[in-house]
Amino acid sequence: MQREALLRIGCAAGFSGDRTDAAEPVVDALIAAGGPAVLIFETLAERTLALAQLARRDHPDGGYEPLLDDLLRPVLDRCLRSGVRIVSNFGAANPPGAARRIAALARELGLREPRIAVVSGDDLSGDMHRDMLRQAIGPAIDGLKIVSANAYVGAETIADALAAGADIVVCGRVADPSLTVGPALAHFGWARDDWDRLARATMAGHLLECGAQVSGGYYADPGFKDVPGLAQLGYPIAEIDADGHCVITKPPGTGGRIDAHTVKEQLLYEVHDPAAYLTPDVVADIGEAAVTELGTDRVRLSGVRGHRRPAELKVNVCHESGWLAEGEISYAGPRAEARARLAADVLRERLQALGPLRVDLIGVTSVLGDDAGLALASRPVGDARDVRLRVALNHADRGAAERLGREVTALYTCGPAGGGGVRTSVRPRLGTVSCLVPRQQVTTSHEFLSWSR
């Protein structure tokens, strides 16, 4: 790579379950532009790792991104032939398993053997880490049935893997912006305490990390903030220069919009303090950042400053938290809302020994409701003619939780009149505890997949 050249990084996923057809236009644009390029997939959220660990209980070889094949199959050949490197956290709870699956996919497609690096060290769920977590959380941890515990690690190990010649880097829980910082760090050879450049690359990664949000997806609000071609959104590409400044764009001919408004919204997304955005790599300061439109779907971010990285790393600990039972039933026609409210009252009375119910009248009060039911109680009975009643219960015992579904089903004939379309479910619930641990207690490394046929 020529270190003076721009580095282009395209994002083709912003969470697990994102669209699987986003990568092809991004890869086409990266190849057409020429020069060094990286494709990233960001597929983790706060509880995705816990769900992945639960998946491994039934399928020990699983636990990585379930859409891995769908994400990579359309573009793997083009990336390997053109030198577009791939970096992702789609390893989730099983990065080695994801790497093995990618290798198998390459064989199935008749491709050359990619050099696949696996990043490890973020998983702190083992017994060897229990004392560390107890010091961070306190004795309450002893009462938790831990499903997953992962540190948000940074970009350095990604950079090391790329510098060692990786075509593909598979990670678990790295911080979202680090998927961008790692390639930039490897490409430009920045010092690892070059806080300003690291901060600029971090904010470039922050703009990319949620996929099509910055392209107008989460921005769209018809009649107020219109976005063309929402069904065919183009996912973003960052053009990063040697000082870390970036231009955000998207593939030509794709839907969506990238302008100062969409960039500013994403820039501030989930940033608790614009002057001190904490990441494992750096503390980024966007207090004097400048967002400049350069042309259609081209926006430059500059003026970001950086400060010394935190001495601690964030850890999310997910644990078993009982069972969530849900039931729904619809009421329509005259007095539908009154009948739905009566059904809720019946359920509250019959299930009061199990604890409080969450009650939503979808179409009347749901998103703006509350677990205590105060929002619904304070609202006078209206004349809604199409109401979906949803009730939910959290309970430590599965058998008790399952009773909710039976009671909702019984409303068919036990009344009120005219209920229909019952759906019920019971599923395990996860709780989350976040803490900080000393950085030096978390060691990351990378290892290349050993090929065997």
Instruction: Enter the CATH code of domain 320-434.
Output: 3.30.70.1150
What percent of the chain clears pLDDT 90, i.e. is strictly above it? 88
Q: What percent of the residues of the chain are helix, what percent strand, and what percent coil, each to the nearest 5?
A: 35, 25, 40
User: What pLDDT digit, counting tens, does each position of 312-323 carry?
Assistant: 999 999 999 999
Which residue, chain included where needed, has tokens 């009671």?
407
Quote the pLDDT of residue 375.
Answer: 66
Quote the pLDDT of residue 370.
Answer: 74
At residue 297 the predicted structure's pLDDT band, cuts being 50, 70 and 90, is very high
Q: What is the mean pLDDT of the chain?
A: 94
What is the residue type of 124? Answer: L
Neighbour count for residue 379 (Cβ, 10 Å): 15
Contact assessment for residue 244 and residue 201, using Cβ atoms and an 8 Å cutoff: yes
Q: Is the pLDDT of residue 51 over 70?
A: yes
Q: Is 299 helix (H, G, I), strand (E, B) or coil?
A: strand
Task: Give which of 410, 406, 368, 366 is closest to 389, Cα–Cα.
Answer: 366
User: What average pLDDT does range 399-416 have in this prediction?
Assistant: 97
Q: Is the pLDDT of residue 261 over 90?
A: yes
Contact assessment for residue 38 and residue 263, using Cβ atoms and an 8 Å cutoff: no
What is the Cα–Cα distance from 453 to 451, expressed in whole angstroms?
Answer: 7
Residues of the chain with CATH 3.30.70.1150: 320-434
What single DSSP character describes residue 292?
Answer: E
User: What pLDDT digit, counting tens, does each position of 52-75 carry?
Assistant: 998 988 898 999 999 999 999 999
Residue 231 in tokens: 């069904």
